[in-house]
Amino acid sequence: MSGTRHGLDLTEGRIGAVLIRFATPFMIANLVTSLYGVIGMLVIGRYTDRATIAGVATGTMIMNLTFSIIFGIGTGGTVLIGRCIGERNKQGGTKATGSFFVVAVIVITALTLVIWSMREVLLDLLKIQPEARPSASRYVMICTLGIPFNVGYGMISAVFRAMGNSKAPSLVAAICCIVNIAMSFILVLAAGLAEAGVAIAVVVAQFLSIILLSVMLYRIKLPFPFAARDIRPDRKSVGFIFTVGLPIVLQELLVGISFLVITNRVNSISVEAAASVGVVGRTFTIAYVIPNALASAVAAMTAQNLGAGRHDRAISSMRWGIFYALIIESIIFTVCTLRPEAVVSIFATDEVVIRGASTYLRSNALEALTISFVFCMNSYLSGYGKSKVAMAHTIFSVVCFRVPLSIFVSGLQGIELNTKLAYLGLCGPAASFVSLIVCIVYIAWQQKHREGVGEFRM
């Protein structure tokens, strides 16, 4: 396994060892980043009321839409730049990076304007309870100010991933998380700002993250010539970024919209239901951290190895990613199934919310296992240029299963709240299982028809 001053060479060395070495800093960074939301919910859940909890949870669902776009376009940039590095194509790398930064500016402008102008409309669509509306509105309004910094951090992190460098984003995330945690407690407990304090802490941390990561990129430098004059669109590069990235954006947005639909239905039940699901939503983000980090590593390894003509290493990286994810997600599944009360009690003190959240978490925990497969498979397909396949199966599972099941369950009459929450918790795992089946069938077909190299086996 070799490395350079820019990052790891993902085309050489034992695949399992390279993947875990490359992915571990991502895991740490994602864990740290997820603490932004976790700490915010911990502070809000323990030191405010149900209405504030429901407001922040609903506001978070709106802001999560921005992460979908950042992740999708970022993956497109990672794959393109990673392939250029794998091919040792310095001119292509220069054009790809310049085009990627132009795309980032476009995304920043569009996202900020849309969320800022549409925030009240989105809250109306979510049918948020009147007592939770002020908290949600303030939270979204303040968090929108951090969109440019969040997008910038996500795009620069994508460049680091393409270079095989996962340490720099991880270090920056750790520093900014400490700042976020400290400010959350100070602004909420000392200044009494509640949801506004949590939102301000997130924006400040996001601002600091892009400053620090930009300085690191300048100091490390890219593995190909790059200057300010190179920040201009190249038609072929922009086309590739959107070809890979847009299907991911669409699939992630659809998933995000499906959660908005679910939030709409949950909000229509009661504030208690909204608070319960909101606590689990923030708590369970930790379960997504490991497969997300491994999936990012799989996408980068797939891109570099395909650029180097190493198709066998590309599919092997996916298998190793799934293996590592399953080990950790099995532990999370066990804890959330056997001791859900202990988990949610960290984030809430209201007994009604604790009971409802525990019930929802226990039934929703199965999704921790299915996403171990789906996330890594999707990243392999994206790195292979098959992101449209990932989009197709996601749309199918969401439109045909997750949303209809959630609407049906939320409309059930004559059952108590906790029973309804238990049924709602099963909708996510059911949809993810459908995606898993489609992924397995497609990748097996792909290998049989030699679109990839190597035998597909799990």
What DSSP string runs through 289-306? HHHHHHHHHHHHHHHHHH
pLDDT at 4 exceeding the cut of 50: no
| Whether residue 191 has pLDDT greater than 80 | no
Residues 316-347 have pLDDT tens digits of 888 999 999 999 899 989 998 898 888 888 77
Task: Quickly state the pLDDT bin for 23 (edges 50, 70, 90).
Answer: confident
The whole-number pLDDT of residue 437 equals 92
pLDDT tens, 247-256? 777 777 777 6
Q: What local confidence, expressed as pLDDT, does residue 322 receive?
A: 93
* Residue 215 reports pLDDT greater than 70: yes
CB atoms inside a 10 Å sphere around CB 315: 24
Closest to 388 (Cα-Cα) out of 155, 102, 76: 76
Helix (H) or strand (E) holding 119: helix 90-125
pLDDT in tens, 342-385: 888 877 777 888 888 888 888 888 888 998 899 889 888 877 77
Q: How confident is the model at residue 333, as a pLDDT?
A: 92
Helix (H, G, I), strand (E, B) or coil at 456: coil
**Interatomic CA distance for residues 405 and 114, integer angstroms:** 29
- Across 251-270, average pLDDT: 72
Higher pLDDT, 32 or 277: 277
Tokens of 364: 């929703």
The DSSP result for 337-398, as a single string, is HH-HHHHHTTT---HHHHHHHHHHHHHHTTHHHHHHHHHHHHHHHHHTT-HHHHHHHHHHHI
In order, the DSSP letters of 435-450 are: HHHHHHHHHHHHHHTT
What is the reported pLDDT for 457?
35
Q: How far is Cα 30 from Cα 19, in angstroms, rounded to an integer? A: 16
Beta bridge partners of 3: 8
- Is residue 446's pLDDT more than 50? yes
pLDDT of residue 453: 38
Q: Assess whether pLDDT exceeds 60 at residue 2.
A: no
- Dist CA 452 CA 445 (whole Å): 10
Judged by average pLDDT, the poorest of 63-67, 232-236, 310-314, 367-371 is: 63-67
| Most confident residue range from 51-55, 207-211, 286-290, 384-388 | 207-211
Per-residue model confidence (pLDDT) at position 239: 85
Phi, psi of 246, rounded to the nearest 5 degrees: -60, -45
Torsions phi, psi for 333 (to 5 deg)? -60, -45
**Averaged pLDDT, 49-65:** 78
In the predicted structure, residue 234 carries a pLDDT above the cut 90? no
Phi-psi region of 284 (alpha: psi -120 to 50; beta: other; left: phi over 0): alpha
Q: Of the ranges 13-22, 56-65, 91-100, which one carries the lowest mean pLDDT score? A: 56-65
Secondary structure letter of residue 403 according to DSSP: H
Mean pLDDT across the stretch 179-194? 82
* Of the candidates 323, 294, 303, 301, the residue with the CA atom closest to the CA atom of residue 12: 301
Which of 259, 137, 256 has its CA nearest to residue 199? 137
| pLDDT of 153 above 80 | yes
Residue 225 DSSP SS3: coil
The Cα–Cα gap between 379 and 97 comes to 20
More confident call, 159 vs 457: 159
Q: Which residues pair with 38 in a beta bridge?
A: none
Listing DSSP states for 56-95 in one string gives HHHHHHHHHHHHHHHHHHHHHHHHHHHHHHHHT-HHHHHH
Q: What is the DSSP letter of 221?
A: -
Given a cut of 70, whether residue 1 has pLDDT beyond it is: no
Q: What pLDDT was estimated at residue 452?
A: 43
